[in-house]
Amino acid sequence: MTSHSIRSWVAVALLATLVTAGCGARNDTGPSAAPVAPQAATGAAASSGPSGPGITDDTITVGGSATLSGPTGFLGNEVFGAVSAYFQTVNAQGGVNGRKIKLITYDDRGESSQFLANVRKLVEQDKVALLITGFGDAAVAYLAQKKVPTITFGVSPATFSSKYPTVFPVVGNALLWTQETIAALKQEGIVKKGMRVGMIYDNSLIDVSPYVPFLKKSWENAGAKVVSTDSFTVASGSCDSLVIKMKDLKVDYWDFQTAAWFTCVQAAQRQGWKPSLGWGGWPASVPTIATIAGPSVDGVWAGSNGDQPNGAPRQKTQATVEYVSAIKKYFPDLATPEHLESPAMLGYWAGAKLVVAALDAQGKRITQPGLISWIQGVKNFETGVTPPIISMAPDCKTGSELVWVGQWKWDAAKKEAGRTPATGYFSSPQKAKFGGKCFLRKISDELLR
């Protein structure tokens, strides 16, 4: 399927009801980059005794569940495109200590019950060594009970909580990303004392509703006044009434905390309105959705958790070249800027590198407790294409914290959205006000009591 046809299909699907698709499996046993050297040395590998589930003399079986069909199916395909491309690169160079990685993936169709069923099947029937999952918290309690190491996107409170010490968020968190976006907007002169902010948030696919009071406080700390917070999802339908509400409230900036933001900028364009200081947010970082927004995407602020294909905002390195080359080789349909800059692609490529490093550190005997211990001990794990994963300790899970922020521009000739070049990464200046460097764990634990 071409990049254009992918966009067309997604546009239709996003404007329709959820597509019900069969739950299919995919095995990726093809060749993956040589194992990266471990960058955390916690929990020495045991030299004797049997290995754990999913490990044979020549194979390491990894399981995955993500949304591969329906409105957000493109994200799941980006997730496992990145993971599979890295594993195949490693396999092509000999595997991990002589073992090849086998990836089994299932489609959860964006349904919590199917997601949990997939995870149970992967653990109980497929006997995988570890898991890689997309969005959703439906399986975290089961995974903690079974003590299965799990790489996931992040965003929500459960993934950052110490209550689930075997679940590791590799991308980022809605609250932290918002604070970093505010910092970037302040540098751009967008944030002004007394500015009126409206907020729309997702309470379904990526449920950030528990964070709403903290998101509101983050804006208030910057001198803004949040005048409205409204739940809004793809299933909500038209955004026209919300646009009217924002106009009536004289909103200066519209903060997007939902992937359905694109329908609101389209509705605003129909009504000939834009907030005076702008609009944007972390869900607007997905290039495919930005292209769906069409010409109305012009000026929307959005960031990313990883480097652009040219290496910006850091510099182009061999890691950047390896990432782009592997995607071109194994998943050429995903080797376009709109996919290569996707937070999902970048985040899960980084997650796959973390997985391989953890496996490599175990030596010949690989066990789930050994993998968990090693990942929990990670300190500033450099992925090469994203800022370092600072910590995965149960009491201080951070993922990759930094983001860069730029504005979308509509390319009428190409009929796609593109971002202004990244100039630098931003950290949050508000951590101390929310509990220090490990505030995400602190707040998440409080919310899950």
Q: What is the pLDDT of residues 235-277, one digit of tens each?
A: 899 999 999 999 999 999 999 999 899 999 999 999 999 999 9
Lowest mean pLDDT among 68-72, 100-104, 115-119, 431-435: 68-72
- The answer to whether 368 and 381 are in contact (CB under 8 A) is no
Whether residues 292 and 414 fall in one domain: yes
Lowest mean pLDDT among 46-50, 85-89, 234-238, 331-335: 46-50
Whether residues 87 and 128 fall in one domain: yes
Mean pLDDT of all residues in 332-337: 94
CA dihedral 222, 227, 233, 235 (to 10 degrees): -170
Whether residues 96 and 50 fall in one domain: yes
Instruction: Supply the CATH number for residue 189's domain.
Output: 3.40.50.2300
Whether residues 303 and 379 fall in one domain: no
Mean pLDDT of all residues in 33-39: 38
Q: What is the pLDDT of residues 202-229, one digit of tens each?
A: 988 678 899 999 999 999 999 999 999 9
Q: Helices (H), strands (E): how many in the chain?
A: 16, 16
Whether residues 364 and 408 fall in one domain: no
Whether residues 39 and 164 fall in one domain: yes
Residue 92 has pLDDT above 50, yes or no: yes
Please list, in sequence order, all residues whose beta carbon lies within 8 angstroms of the beta carbon of residue 93, skipping any fewer than 6 positions away. Answer: 31, 32, 33, 34
Residue 399 has pLDDT above 90, yes or no: no
Whether residues 139 and 72 fall in one domain: yes
Residue 41 has pLDDT above 80, yes or no: no
Residue 12 has pLDDT above 80, yes or no: no
The pLDDT confidence band at residue 47, using thresholds 50, 70 and 90, is: low
- The answer to whether 156 and 176 are in contact (CB under 8 A) is no
Mean pLDDT of all residues in 63-72: 86
Does an H or E element contain 145, and which? helix 140-146
Residue 195 has pLDDT above 90, yes or no: yes
pLDDT of residue 262: 95
Query: Cis peptide before 31, with omega less than 30 degrees from 0?
Result: no
Total number of domains constituting the chain: 2
Whether residues 150 and 41 fall in one domain: yes
pLDDT of residue 424: 93
Whether residues 295 and 350 fall in one domain: no
Spatial strand order in the sheet of 167-173: 25-28, 100-107, 59-66, 130-133, 150-155, 167-173
Lowest mean pLDDT among 80-94, 95-109, 309-323, 409-423: 409-423
Q: Which residues pair with 198 in a beta bridge?
A: 228, 254
Residue 37 has pLDDT above 60, yes or no: no
Final residue belonging to a domain, choices 380, 397, 414: 397
Q: Which residues of 25-35 are buried (b: 16+ CB within 10 A; e: fewer)?
A: eeebebbbbbb
Give the SS3 label for residue 56. coil
Lowest mean pLDDT among 2-6, 55-59, 268-272, 387-391: 2-6
Mean pLDDT of all residues in 145-170: 93
Whether residues 343 and 205 fall in one domain: no
Question: What tokens appear for 385 in the block?
Answer: 């294409």
pLDDT of residue 48: 56
Whether residues 185 and 84 fall in one domain: no
Whether residues 362 and 381 fall in one domain: yes
Domain of residue 285, residue span: 175-307+402-447
